[in-house]
Every structure is written in structure tokens, then in C-alpha cells.
Structure 1
């Protein structure tokens, strides 16, 4: 089964196909009743999309509540904690010595809503970067996940991260649909964590996310930002939360959230902003998806700046032959044959067709 996952991770499949194939393989070795799989922004570890399988497929009515709990509270098996502690896999039953009710997520959410007995979590980690994660559930009549199963799941962290990275790259040349009209895209969220106001452009962007097969419920990424913004307001995290995600039409967006200061009778509000991602935001994401070594990333960064091989060698204290070796490896991982193709692969269709075009009032391409 591990070999099956590794093969499909290297097959260049789109995200939906890869995740479906991988979960089917995992189920043969580690049986589960239902499962949730998420993708994350590798830079901020925040949720960007979610999918459900098995017994809970199609049950989307609790997604908003889940995201608020997952990203607004601290728990040992939260996805962000798995990354922080360098843990590839864990089960709630084992972490809490069989007392799953000690997990607030299980006691207040998973058990009452879905009647699950145990949850095993697997982080799709590639070093410190989290590309996605899976939660596998067993029902009340099933046995809990055991230590051998958790260790086996942990051994899949790298291949699953590779498959999600490849899935990101399969879409970088998609045709980009026209973006919504001009104007700020802003959502105001009240103390009850529900939207109270939004601009027309924000409503249009959310409509774009609704139609996306990789974002079946656009509320979840927004709710994750709201939950994380609450933690930022309490001083539990150092910076306001943000994430990069893609619409149904292939447009990359940046979503950010932050708490608003108290004003008159308003207290506890959060503002969420949505804007088209600028090249520096997405270049870093695409380059990370290539799975480059630190030195290969250095070389790629200088290639994107138009620096020739001799200058790269001098700046990095390498021989020109070593730089060429790094470039060959970069080309292989990026699926290109030249510097020009590499640059085109990174600065993809979202930007290139509009270079030199009319600018909107925001100062960005119209």
C-alpha cells in the first residue's frame, strides 16, 4: 500500500484524483469509516480546502463550526500543533490514554455530531511545510486506532505531501476566468463568528469559491481565518492569519483576517479581506511545490531575477558546473527544459496574459 501511494504521488495527478486514489489505498491497510482531507497553505498552515469521504460525505452543515474549533483553540492533535511539534501522525485515543472526551474537539463536535469513537490524524508534511492533512474516523462499533497503525500512517507523510504538491502544479497553467468587478472585497464578522456585512466584490469572490470542486464549502477557509484571528486577538499567535487559495476559475487569492478594535457599541468584530494574489505571493508557493532543496531554491530565485550562471556561481560560492547540476535538477522537478520555460512555469497564466494591460483603481491589472 505504501508503494501504491508513492506511485500515485509521482504520477502528476490532479488533487481530486490523487487524494481519492491515496485514501482508497490507505483504507485497505488502515480501515476507516469516514475521512476528511484538507489542503493547507504551506507558508501559514491555514486551511485552503476540504473534502469528505465515507459516512460523512455531503454533511457540510457543521463545517463553519469545525473550522472555528480547529483554528480558534489549542489542542494536542490540532493540525497546527502536529506541525509545530514535528508529529506526522497521532490518534486521539492514544494521545489521551483512551479518554477521548479530554479532547474538546471530540467531546463537543465529533462525538455528538457524528458518533465517532476515535480519530487518527496524518499531516502531509515535507520538512516544516504542511501541504495538507487527513483525519480518519472510526465509529462507535469499531476499535480505536492502535500504535502500529499510527506509525504506518506517519510513514506516508512525505509521499502524500509530494502528491499534493504535484496537484498544485497541475493547475498552474489553467485558463483563468475573468475576475469580479472592482472595489474592495471585505467581510465584517460579528462576535458570534457570522458575517454581518460584506462588499459586493467579496460576495462575488465567495461565489467563485462556491463553484470550485476544490472548495466545496468556501465558509471553511474563511471560518478558519476567523478562528485564528480570535487567537491573534488573545495574543496566542504572533501575526494576523492569512492564506492563499484558488477559485473555480483558476485565480489565486490571498485571504487575511484581523480583529477590529472596539468602537462605540461594537466589540469583538473581525474583518476578512480578499484580494488577487500578487506574483511574489504565488511564486513562493509554486517554487515550494517543486520540492526543491534549499540550494536549488537559491539558484531558482536568482534565475527568476535574470542572473546568469557565472554570477550565480560567484554569489553562491559554487563552481559553474555545480550551478548547472542544480539547474538540471530544478528543470527535472519543474518539468521544464530551459530557463525560459522555468520562468514561464512560475509566472503562469494568471499574470502573463495581462502584462501591459489596463490597471484597475487598486493599481493592479484590470
Structure 2
């Protein structure tokens, strides 16, 4: 789809934000502010999710603020997210278009939709557009926008804009997580801790600082020249830096598709990702580039509360499969244990967590206090 001038301008602005090194909270606030002039919404919920389970890990909400919103938010978390939204997000992830519009899905009869009756009618809203933020086959975030009945429904152009942005926002969320992890210094071998490493690249053309973890990953990728920081930068570092600069230039449509990230095969047989992002600075002329090196395997977005409840490794595996919506028979098959053992594990989990149902255990472990301190 060919965007008009305003949409094209916002497309470029938000894509640049995705590689500006912002943390996920500030990034979401900036994106909302860029979208609002062209996609005016009365309510916006912009979430990060755990890619392993699809469960929400944080939320930024803007728009309607009253007691009714708090009430429907609880309904959303306890019921609709599992019954409607998470299955829908998974369908969108498997489709070629990660966005859907309520008005289009109901052929204009939005009031017929269950989520409209439960969520939007009580707070005077009507139409909705929702999107999945992803990288590859992993979901890293979601966005839900809603507006009043007196306004026009969300357009096809709105949907295409979010679809274009979705992989870049997903990449930004993943990078923000690794930025946090990269600040942790290893106290043991990289094979044991798998901590991402961080390089700081000066635009003049050299590496001005790096963490110990980064040096371990660089050595995993091959021999380093004695002057590797200034004279002989590894080619993969040069490539991701160049990709970031090209991506930010936005001179052609192909530039928009460039994501400053690549993967390489390490000495030990592991795949390692190298990605670049522009770091924040008061003076644009002195902006540095951050380069993250880390394992290319899926890792948890957050450490859930299972350790605090004293769950065994097998119980931990069971509760994560429950969170993904697996039945007892599916859990039995995936873990190669009997259905009786699955029920025994579930009984132990319920006792340790102090709940009586699967839904309650997922809510207590994964969603406890989710929205505290995030509203404004």
C-alpha cells in the first residue's frame, strides 16, 4: 500500500525510534505520541510480552482514565486475554498480516463482538485495532487502540502502517531487554552464564569501550587482531554498524526493510547474534552506537516467580506449558510423562502456589501486580 505524506513521515520517524537505543517504556511512549496525530485513539494499551508464553510482562496505557477502565482491565486480564486476545495474537503471528480491525472482522457490526460487549461498551468505546510486534516467529509485544463510536473506524491504511512497523518494534523490544542484560558483568565462564556483551562504537570509527562479556563473545567468534578496537574491526561489527546507518538514512524503500542485526556461527558450534542500535545523547553529533553480542537461542524475557514458590524443574516445565494453553494430554506428550504424573504435578503446584485452578495459577505466577505503577 502507498501511504500518504503524513503516514509516510510517521513510518520513518517510528522506524528510527526503534533503533535509537530507548528502553521499552520510553520507546512505547514515543511511538504513541507519533501515532496519535494520524491514528487518534481514546485508549491505547501497548504491551511487552514473554515470547515463550505470549503472556504480558508490562503495559503502557494512555487515554480513558476512570474506575470503569480499571474494572474492564481486570476482566481483560482474567478472562478475555486467554479466551480471545492470546489465541488471536497467535493466529496473527501465523498469518502474513499481524494486524486486525474490529470493524472489518464484524463487517461494521462491532457491537456483536464479545470483547466489545465486555470491554468497550462499558467505557463508551466502539472500534478497535490490534497488532502483534514480532521478530521471526517470536512475539515480543502487542498494541491495542480503541476509539469512540462517534469517530470513523480504523482504516486499511492504519492497519498497513502498524503491519509495516511490527517487526521493527518487535526487534526494539528484544534489543531493549538485551541492553539490560548486557550491563551485567559475568563472574564465570560465558558457557555457564550466557550474558550478552556490549561494545560502544564511536562514529569516528573505533570501539571506545566494551564489557568483559563482549570480549568473551568476540573470542568465541574468532581470533582478534591485537589492534581490533581501532585498526582491524571484525567485519561483522562493521556490517551491523553500516546496516544501522543505512537503515537510519531512509533514502529508499529498501532502506526501511534493513534491520541492523546478523547471526554468526561460533567456535563452539553456537549461533551468536550481533545487533546495533543508536544510543541516547544530549548532543546528536556525539551519538555513540551500541553493539550487543549474545546467544541466538530463545531465552526468557523475565524471571518468573516459580522459584519463589519452590517449584521443581518438572513442575516449572508443567506450569509454563499450562500458561501456553496446553491440555493435560498435550503436556503428557511434550514432557514424555504419564497423564497421571501431569495431574500429580498440577496438584503439587496448586498446593505450593495456594490456588485451585490452572487459570488461578497462571494469574498468580505470571500476572500478579502487572499494572501497578504503570498508569498515568
Give TM-score, length-normalised by structure 1: 0.49
